Amino acid sequence: MIEQGQARHRVVVVGAGFGGKYAARALRKAPADVTVINGTNHHVFEPLIYQVATGVLSPGEVATPVRELFRGQRNTEVLLGWVTDVDAENRTVTATAPGGLPYQVPYDTLIVAAGTAQSYFGNDRFAAYAPSLKSIDDAVELRSKILTAFEMAELATDPAEQERLLTFAIVGAGPTGVELAGQIAEIAHRTLPGEYRRIDPARARIVLIDAADRILPAFAPGSSASAAARLRRLGVEIRVNTTVTDVDATGVTVDGGERIATMVKVWSAGVAAGPLAARLAAATGAETDRSGRIKVEPDLTVPGHPEIFVVGDLMSLDRLPGVAQVSIQGGGYVGRLIRRRLTGRPAGKPFHYFDKGNIATVSRFSAVADLRGLRLTGLAGWLLWLGVHWAYLPKGRNRASSLIRWAAAFLGRSRPERAVTARQAGLAAPTPEPVTARQAGPATPTPEPVTARQAGPATPTPVAPEPATAQQVPQLS
């Protein structure tokens, strides 16, 4: 409890995903100064990010500025940067801002909600050819690849190359893989037919690959079977009990040596903790699980460090799944627990996760839902999916515009977001032929070069920098 005259308690929240967002919101009336540090300027509604990749929603409809989320929360500030290290002894975190500028932020209580990265199961080289779908950048890049594949197939003269361009391989048959496969199939069968003259988009081959014995393994077997049947009706080729052994620029290889030639490959199988988890474990002596996630106490604190909490995908407790509801409930629990501590009230009960069930959409008007003994499929499941996701979207413009986009995509055939820039498509403006002085007429003055200061600093390749020393790093008070 804070005594009169004592400095206000400082709470640092690392990450503005579901866990960080709900933890910080629960602290809005706490007698504390809250600092939210996030690597991007927006919070992503990840369950709908596949709809950005398939042209249903725009990035702005699933991404909300972090500052907008906390605009009315007067005890909260937002800082942009990737947290790269934690000093548990001196209670500071080190972050790196755009441009590589490091800074430090002191804390009294730390909430780590940094999320996880995609796991390639030791084959990190696959990432260059089969990107994941975790961020807005990933979604926009994938959208451009999907749409550009059809454009390149229209130009191809070799039937084998045309077939490769019209083949889409998705590795991982969890909710993201299933939803993505269904939407690519709908693009091929509903949106694009009639727009091309040399190809039939409906001939596209969508291959969904998973090492498990069925798709959606976290769902009831009946729900998995219903989703599989619907995908097959859409023309999706389901390959279960199948392991990917190699990925390169021209396709994927599965066990047995079978080669699937494809330009567009997506990886949605498995997650692993990012480098921050290893830094935190080293700083606190905490144990990690096989995925590198931090093993926490029942109150979500790091063992031996009651001032450090880990929530969401980065925590390991009772084999809880890495789903949004675990992050939402864990973040809210930690925020309320800290508030009770600061006001001198009892800590309360350990964290208890209330499993609300699983839900995944398969295609328009078709979804599967397992809700504590109740199983819904088809249109009933889809209507439930629509209501749940609409309710969790931020209020205001996101909800209104998403309904309009869903109506256009699901009631009609259009995809509101199909623009692909020349840079995304890999198109460069043609180099002009040299012109002689006589052809050009009077010489044109050579323009003055633009300095680096005028143009702004170049954006560095994102890396996980080594933590700087205290003498090198400015500390934000």
Cα gap 113→309, rounded to integer Å: 9
pLDDT at 431: 58
Averaged over 347-376, what is the pLDDT? 93
> Which amino acid would we find at residue 353?
Y
Residues in CB range of 429: below 8 A, 6 or more apart: 422
Compute φ and ψ for 279, nearest 5 degrees: -65, -45
The pLDDT of residue 79 is above 60? yes
The pLDDT of residue 2 is above 50? no
The string of pLDDT tens digits covering residues 233-284 is: 999 999 999 999 999 999 999 999 999 999 999 999 988 898 999 999 999 9
Cα–Cα separations (whole angstroms), residue 324 to 31, 65, 124, 272, 273? 28, 19, 25, 16, 16
The string of pLDDT tens digits covering residues 427-469 is: 655 555 554 444 444 444 434 433 333 344 333 333 343 444 4
pLDDT at 477: 65
Q: What is the DSSP string of 313-325?
A: GGEESTT---SHH
> Which amino acid would we find at residue 266?
V
Cα gap 137→140, rounded to integer Å: 5
Q: Which residues are catalytic?
A: 179
Global confidence as pTM: 0.86
The pLDDT of residue 89 is above 90? yes
Cα gap 377→358, rounded to integer Å: 12
Give the chain's largest Cα–Cα span.
88
- Which SS3 state, helix, strand or coil, does residue 146 take? helix
Burial class (CB in 10 A: 0-12, 13-18, 19+), 367: buried
The string of pLDDT tens digits covering residues 148-181 is: 999 999 999 999 999 999 999 999 999 999 999 9
pLDDT at 468: 45
Cα–Cα separations (whole angstroms), residue 477 to 34, 104, 285, 318, 335? 12, 9, 27, 37, 22
Cα–Cα separations (whole angstroms), residue 229 to 39, 220, 280? 40, 14, 44
Tokens of 351: 């964290």
pLDDT at 433: 58
- What mean pLDDT value characterizes the chain? 89
